[in-house]
Chains A and B, each alone.
Chain A
């Protein structure tokens, strides 16, 4: 479980996150939604420690992450997997080496053990015969899947996904969404997903946090989201004709 307590963050005098508190539960896919520029990426980067918070604290299963220094954070970092918007695969390494990278850095396994783990993770994300390919030789959807495979290589307790299906076609997006949901349940991870794709909200939103102008505006389940009469939430979530039809049909 990850607890965010009263965090604020600003850049050059401009407040981007204003006193946000929320709880992301274990075994659930927690979604952070909001319009572009609302602060959801900054919130995620504050939670994982890529940005230091100005005020407040982030707790990983009771451990105050915000107060820790680089050395103290290391053990927690090894429990974190993250899928970046563009995949963030290392260009100079093959798919196999990318997935093996955290294993090389933090385990004492033999090459065979590491290779077995890499193959297991790649098979888990439905990728076969791509080990020797480089990131420039695979499609966007495959890059996202390799990024997921790399993120789960170390058996993480916490999985963060920053817009995991941006730039993907609807079918591939559903595959990625389902994969993240399955992995979350399978490994009982605390998963936090940053998205503004409403299909993802329908597909996998166990718990949803709506960020509006840097503040937590709304929080609840998908069913509660569908039935809410909050104007800002409705304006954002049901902006498209398809979503309006979803709401109308219940």
Chain B
């Protein structure tokens, strides 16, 4: 078990070393980054918006359900919803969702390239295949996912406000007051730091699993599953580490 883990960790770092090799032609990498920005960012907007609206609504209703003490003002629901969304839901849960969407897509794309010898074709041409395939994805994810997470925060809070107002659990004015009350701007910075780290994890771990796919279609599917599982576990570990280091 530990032998396998060490093997995977060691091979991951060897794979990541490939990213440090100077790109063959920067303009080609730049074009790839632009394509990945669209693929990772725009492609994720739909699922992020839907998930955020409903999660925001659920957080608000559940918070209201639990805060029934008459000593607790109703606007506290807005505070709880806002902080839950900014600190944890948007940077962590959304990135876990994206590990499923973007991560599996990256692993299966690179895995298919491996089993159909497209990666060998790159190597034969003298191209650093790990860098060419992975670096643009990592750079694009680090650039675009903070914006996606900001959108998620906005949609989550809107979803919470709408659910509270429509169900009558939290009046609109109370929710808006709660959202504005005791706001700590550093929480956004913290969320962005987490997003950048998690974006790196999702893209690099998924690329790694795709790159080392061996076999055929079945193994591509297995790599895709592994990419999602490993990315999610590593995200949760780093979520704890970052929270401990930065917030405590």
Chain B neighbourhood of A50, CB < 8 A: 120, 123-124
Which positions 197-240 of chain B face chain A at CB distance < 8 Å? none
Known: A84-B117, A85-B117. Contact between A106 and B128, CB under 8 A?
A: no
Q: Is the CB of B180 closer than 8 A to any CB of chain A?
A: no
Tell me the count of chain A residues lying within 8 A, CB to CB, of chain B: 24
Q: Pick the contact of B121: A73, A75, A82, A104 (CB < 8 A).
A: A82
Q: List the A residue with the shortest CB-CB distance to B25.
A: A105
Q: List the A residue with the shortest CB-CB distance to B132.
A: A105
Report how far A160 CA is from B120 CA in the complex, Å. 13
State whether A88 touches B121 (Cβ < 8 A). yes
Q: List the B residue with the shortest CB-CB distance to A83.
A: B121
State whether B117 touches A105 (Cβ < 8 A). no
Contact string, A90-102, partner B, CB cutoff 8 A, digits 1/0? Answer: 1100000000011
Chain A neighbourhood of B242, CB < 8 A: none
Q: Is the CB of A2 closer than 8 A to any CB of chain B?
A: no
State whether A88 touches B120 (Cβ < 8 A). yes
Q: Pick the contact of B117: A73, A74, A88, A101 (CB < 8 A).
A: A88
Q: Is the CB of A86 closer than 8 A to any CB of chain B?
A: yes
State whether B125 touches A78 (Cβ < 8 A). yes
Known: A48-B124, A78-B126, A82-B124. Contact between A105 and B28, CB under 8 A?
A: yes
State whether A80 touches B124 (Cβ < 8 A). yes
Contact string, A57-95, partner B, CB cutoff 8 A, digits 1/0? Answer: 000000000000010011101101010111011110000
Tell me the count of chain B residues lying within 8 A, CB to CB, of chain A: 17
Report how far A106 CA is from B127 CA in the complex, Å. 9
A80-B125, A82-B121, A90-B121 provided; 20 other pairs, C-beta below 8 A? A49-B123, A70-B128, A74-B126, A77-B126, A78-B126, A82-B124, A84-B117, A84-B120, A88-B118, A88-B120, A88-B121, A89-B118, A90-B113, A90-B118, A91-B112, A91-B118, A104-B28, A105-B24, A105-B125, A160-B124
| 26 sampled A-B residue pairs with Cβ under 8 A | A50-B123, A50-B124, A70-B21, A73-B126, A74-B126, A75-B126, A77-B125, A78-B126, A80-B124, A82-B121, A84-B117, A84-B120, A86-B117, A88-B118, A88-B121, A89-B118, A90-B113, A91-B112, A91-B113, A91-B118, A105-B25, A105-B28, A105-B127, A106-B25, A106-B125, A106-B126
For the complex of A and B, 6 pairs with smallest distance between CB atoms: A77-B126, A88-B117, A88-B121, A74-B126, A84-B117, A82-B124
